[in-house]
Amino acid sequence: EGQLVESGGGLVEPGGSLRLSCAASGFSFNDAWMAWVRQSLGKGLEWVGRIKTTGTTEYAAPVRGRFTISRDDSKDVLYLQMNSLQIGDTAVYYCVRSLCGVDCPGYNWFDPWGQGTLVTVSS
Amino acid sequence: EVVLTQSPATLSLSPGERATLSCRASQSVSYQLVWYQQKPGQAPRLLIYDVSRRATGIPARFSGSGSGTDFTLTISSLEPEDFAVYYCQQRSDWMTFGQGTRLEIK
């Protein structure tokens, strides 16, 4: 069913940048839509954005213009570049595979999930 | 944005009992409702998608029902490993999550 392993989280000051990586295995990565979902105490679970197999990306309003999702299909790796980080971006960030059914293309459910990586934005 | 409201916030039951968790949407999401389980220190795990379709490896004691704006996750007979937090998610209008129901041992 696949495995996802995130890395790159840590402590960063407001206004700073961070890049998360997610290594995928056990499924055909280049055929998969992928996404990032974050979880914070204050806001719960929140979809961040997704990337289709074509490389087309879409983002949630709170991160649009600051975050960039990319993929390297030769390495089976997903990335999340986060710029202009704000205190409200503090969360555990999960890498997820995005799935849909007979209504594809469309909106997604998520499976599997990585173990998550913690991003803390604080001065 | 579609807002999902889960109830109750906390449910206290004993092993062997039946659990009924609710998820209500602020507008119709048709059949596009998903359930996840999250245990402490772990990532969410997919349980059910599109109201009632169990994910691979999910036991038959988990079932989902509903349509439109009102949905239910039922666990027919609680096992010790079922005590966790459960989230619903809609995929009708982008993707949003409920705030979760904590299922705790009574």
Q: Does B4 touch chain A (CB under 8 A)?
A: no
Q: Are A37 and A46 in contact (CB under 8 A)?
A: yes
Strand pairing report for B101-105 and B10-13: parallel
Nearest CA in chain B to A40: B99
pLDDT, averaged in runs of 10, over chain A (123 residues):
96 98 97 97 95 96 98 98 98 96 85 98 97
| Cβ contact B43–A94 (<8 Å) | yes
User: What percentage of chain B exceeds 90 in pLDDT?
Assistant: 100
| Cα dihedral: B83, B24, B95, B48 (round 10) | 40
Size of interface A-B (CB pairs under 8 A): 55
pLDDT on residue A102: 77
Q: What angle do CA A20, A88, A119 make, to 5 degrees?
A: 30
pLDDT on residue A85: 98
Q: Are B43 and B28 in contact (CB under 8 A)?
A: no
pLDDT on residue A64: 98
> pLDDT digit string (tens) for B78-106?
999 999 999 999 999 999 999 999 999 99
pLDDT on residue A1: 83
pLDDT on residue A106: 82
Q: Which of B86, B90, B91 to mutate to test the interface with A (most CBs of A within 10 A)?
A: B91
Exposed/middle/buried for B81, CB within 10 Å: 0-12, 13-18, 19+? exposed
Q: Which residues of A touch B (CB under 8 A)?
A: 1, 44-47, 60, 94, 99-101, 103, 106-116
Please list, in sequence order, all residues whose beta carbon lies within 8 angstroms of the beta carbon of residue B94, skipping any fewer than 6 positions away: A47, A60, A107, B1, B2
How many Å apart are CA A46 and CA A91, to the nearest integer? 10
Nearest by Cα to B101 from B1, B41, B29, B13: B13
How many Å apart are CA A3 and CA A115, to the nearest integer? 9
| Cβ contact A115–B43 (<8 Å) | yes
pLDDT on residue A101: 79
Q: Does B43 touch chain A (CB under 8 A)?
A: yes
